[in-house]
Structure 1
Amino acid sequence: MNEYEEIRKEIDIYLMKRFKYRLSLVYLTPDNVVATRRNSRIDLYLRIRRIESLFPPDCLIIARISFRKGRSGHGSHYVRFLAEIALKYGFKYIGIESVNDKSRTFAEKLGFYSIDGYNYAISVKNLLSYFQDRR
């Protein structure tokens, strides 16, 4: 199993435990995108990138994140989990792609910096520090 498949599996286990699903929700596309199968409670789309693009190299990029129950802590909990996964697999950054007003506020609250006004990033070290300070 390669590291992308291992990341997919860890995200799947996380979602199954957190949301009490019995069947797998997560799949990996040929271009290393982790996505959830369509369901009414969760919609996630995560790009795994080792090379530099608009985002820094070694970046897990959240392209879509949505939970049916908004403003209930699921997004922050997931981003914290993702930072721990990033650290485990040697990724240095977490990114959020193509923000809207709601996701911009979320990114800024967590300490992400703007790349170009529409895309945000943060070092895993700074993100974990943010969560550590909130304990």
Structure 2
Amino acid sequence: MVQKDFLLDFDLYICERFGYRNSLHVTPTMNGYCVDVNIKPVKLYIRFWEYSKGVGGFPDWCIILVNCNFAKKQKEELQKLVRFFKEYAPRYGYKHIGIENNQKLNEVLMLPQMRSTKDDNHVIALTGITI
């Protein structure tokens, strides 16, 4: 189920950081939804899973960063994005944040690798993030 209030908060975050409104492209899925942001300074692809059924080893209620590219200040913007999720996502039921098979993202965030999968996936509880 798409959580419209959370998406409004996320869209406001993107607008405040980069000056673009209505930049989220949302695709509902069987277990949540995916968000794509493709504006000049930002390219994001993020999965918001309410139910994972163990796919990729990710837990339920997990935000999965698949692709996060910023034109400027990559490390700083990625950390700010994760801080935004740490503050807002729990209000909407999300408990974890993960990285799907993207070592470059994890070099910045340093999330623990999941042992239950052969992929290079990482995950941590939102309450455990220290950025």
Partner of 1:34: 35
Q: Per the alignment, do residues 104 and 5 of structure 1 end up closer, same or farther by CA in structure 2, a change over 3 Å counting?
A: same
Q: Per the alignment, do residues 56 and 68 of structure 1 end up closer, same or farther by CA in structure 2, a change over 3 Å counting?
A: same
Paired residues, number:
122
Query: Is the partner of 1:47 in helix, strand or coil?
Result: strand
When the two structures are superposed, what TM-score results if normalisation uses the length of structure 1?
0.81
Stretches of structure 2 lacking an aligned partner (at least 5 in a row)? none
Relative contact order, higher structure (CA 8 A, sep 6+): 2
Partner of 2:17: 18
Query: Is the partner of 2:28 in helix, strand or coil?
Result: coil
1:8 is aligned with what amino acid? L
Match of 2:93 among 90, 94, 98: 90
Partner of 1:9: 8
Stretches of structure 1 lacking an aligned partner (at least 5 in a row)? none
Question: What root-mean-square deviation, in Å, do the aligned CA atoms of Structure 1 and Structure 2 show?
Answer: 1.8
Match of 1:105 among 100, 104, 107: 107
When the two structures are superposed, what TM-score results if normalisation uses the length of structure 2?
0.83
Match of 1:120 among 115, 122, 125: 122
State the 4+ residue runs in structure 1 displaced beyond 4 angstroms.
none
1:93 is aligned with what amino acid? H
Does structure 1 conserve the Cα–Cα contact (< 8 Å) formed by 2:61 and 2:95?
yes
